[in-house]
Structures are given as C-alpha cells and as structure tokens.
Chains A and B, each alone.
Chain A
Amino acid sequence: EDQVTQSPEALRLQEGESSSLNCSYTVSGLRGLFWYRQDPGKGPEFLFTLYSAGEEKEKERLKATLTKKESFLHITAPKPEDSATYLCDTNAGKSTFGDGTTLTVKP
C-alpha cells in the first residue's frame, strides 16, 4: 500500500530560523511529488512539483528537493506569513497526501 509520512507533525521557529520539513514515501511507480501549502479552513495551494531524484525547485524562501525515498522542503529565514500547514502528495496512479507539517513562525 502506498504510504506518505511527513515529519515533524508540528514545527515552531523564530523568524529567521531556517529549517527543513520531510516527506518520506513508499509508492510504486512514482510519477511526481507535489508540495502544497494550506492555511486554516482554506484549500491547499500548489507550491512545487518534482518528478525525478536530484531535482530541486525554489520559490522565495522555499526550496524543495527530491530523492528516491523522500523529499525535503527547506525554509530559509522564514517570516510569520510562512506559518501554515505544508502537505506533500505523491502521484502513483492516485493521490496520496501526507498528514502535513504545521509550521508556526514567531516574530
């Protein structure tokens, strides 16, 4: 059975304190890994798609990387507005979302 595990469940950072979120997966025939940001009570918002091991994508303070078993979302010098739940999703014929990492950035 396809599995996606995100860690940590929750992460509290001070503004400017860089860190990484992890998404490890066990799926057959991965066709892509997606990162989304979700604010409370709202629909997830697309951030990145990664298709192959070694691929990296960047957007502002976020950088996503992919290996054969996991993906990382690196957050550099975060700001309070980066506070949200970050979800990863694998494409292997059907969608499998992880439970997310809730990030809180304190000013």
Chain B
Amino acid sequence: DSGVTQTPKHLITATGQRVTLRCSPRSGDLSVYWYQQSLDQGLQFLIQYYNGEERAKGNILERFSAQQFPDLHSELNLSSLELGDSALYFCASSVGRRGDWNTQYFGPGTRLTVL
C-alpha cells in the first residue's frame, strides 16, 4: 500500500459526459501528479501540482482540467468524454520540494470506461 488513495476504482459513463476523479496524496506529500494509461500503452504524464499550484504540464487535453485543494487532495475533471478517453488514470504523490522531482508513489488507479 503506497498511501495514495484514488476514488472511484471503476467508472462507467457515456460519451459526452463529464466525470471527476479524486486523489488523496500520502501524508506529508505536497506534489500530486496525474497520468493516463490506455490499454497496452505507456504512462502519459498529464499534469503536476505542487502545494496547490500547477507545476508542470504534459499532454493534457483542453477537455481535461485538474486542481489541488488546500488540504492537498486533487481532482481531475474530464469533460465531453470520448471513447478514446477510456483508460486507467493514475495519481501519484511525492514530497516534491520546489525545484526537485522526488520519487513518486502511485495510487491504485481509476479505470474509466466510456461507452
């Protein structure tokens, strides 16, 4: 158990809908990262937050957005969903001192299925 929690574990929805994925980092970690992993594909970095502020951005679609709240939990919002958005979404956290990129600890993931 990494100490990172993600909810829900599974999500089934329809095209065009909007969903929110939630992540709680390990106690004491200030950075949260979001990744997408499609079937048989590698981990695609989406976005990183550090202590409430956006820190780094990857190949995140405009239909996707994220935020980190004062209690450090994070939410990833996916809207206007398409079939191709079906994937495992992972959250990771790290101590993440500013300017550093520490070891990331991954949550169990949310499996999103878009029908």
A residues neighboring B (CB under 8 Å): 31-32, 34, 36, 41-46, 49, 87, 89, 91, 93-100
Contacts and interface: CB of A to CB of B under 8 A. Distances in A.
Interface of B: 2, 4, 33, 35, 41-45, 48, 56-58, 88, 90, 92, 100-101, 103-109, 111
Main secondary structure of the interface of A (DSSP, over half): strand
Nearest to B42: A99
A49 B58 contact: no
A94 B42 contact: no
Contacts of A44: 43, 90, 92, 104, 106
Given A32-B101, A34-B104, A95-B58, A45 B2 contact: yes
B56 A94 contact: yes
A44 B108 CA distance: 9
